[in-house]
Amino acid sequence: MNLAIHGLAGEIRYTQGGSLLDDAFPSLKADFVMANPPFNQREWATPAILEDVRWSHGTPPENNANYAWIQHFLHHLAPDGRAGFVMANGSLTTMTVAERAIRENLVRADLVDCVVALPPQLFYTTGIPVSLWFLDRDKASSGERDRRGETLFIDARQMGRKISRTQIELTDEEILHIAGTYHAWRSENSGQEYADTPGFCRSATLDELVAAGMSLSPGRFVGAPESEEDEIAFEERMASLIDRLADEIAEGDELTQRVSEGLARLGYEL
């Protein structure tokens, strides 16, 4: 539907299990990937899929598919390919063991090119704020600035204009400003020079990301006001607590099921 709406053509293959469980293009290597996957998808996995070759940077947790989608896109990139996709903000800071390990592996492999924090209420179906991730397998591409060991952070949370009571949209000028900032950072021939802008954009090194606990929240790097820093810290703690709670609920359900099955074998009901 998205392809049709935007006047694009493409080969579409439907599979019973969907892209994660039944990859319709297992051998595809793309120059560019653009995607808007479902956020925080629960109970997405099967035991067999957790052994899939796509999870080269770590096995994603069974109760959240965010890092499965991220690695799915990465797996399908050519050696110099790039990916851009929308992702729930929790993915930037989640401290669950599996997700934090995958994020750290992606950062240390120098694959995270740019992260853009967006304002809330951009979608029809949810008001949650989201972020844009950009991955690049080759940050030293010919004809561009060598950005190995660096990641660009852009904080666009204050952008957008209301178009209804529950929705906003970015203006053309704001979109061009965000895109122009990225191209100035990456390109030798963008027509403008890149410079860190307090409160909006900053190029951070791997050492700085390590010092930040591998958080990829743009507000931490661009110099958000103190009140916003407090909000970011709260959001990070809340996201971590929610992830831990989800893990514990899932573990509790599994234990309950095992106890129930054991009692049933003895002729009792729970």
In this predicted model, what pLDDT tens digit does every residue of 226-267 receive, in sequence order? 445 555 556 555 655 666 676 678 778 878 888 888 888 888
Q: CATH class for domain 2-222?
A: alpha beta
Say which residue the tokens 């599996």 belong to: 98
Q: What is the pTM of this model?
A: 0.82
Quick one: pLDDT at residue 233? 52
Give the residue-averaged pLDDT of 121-130: 84
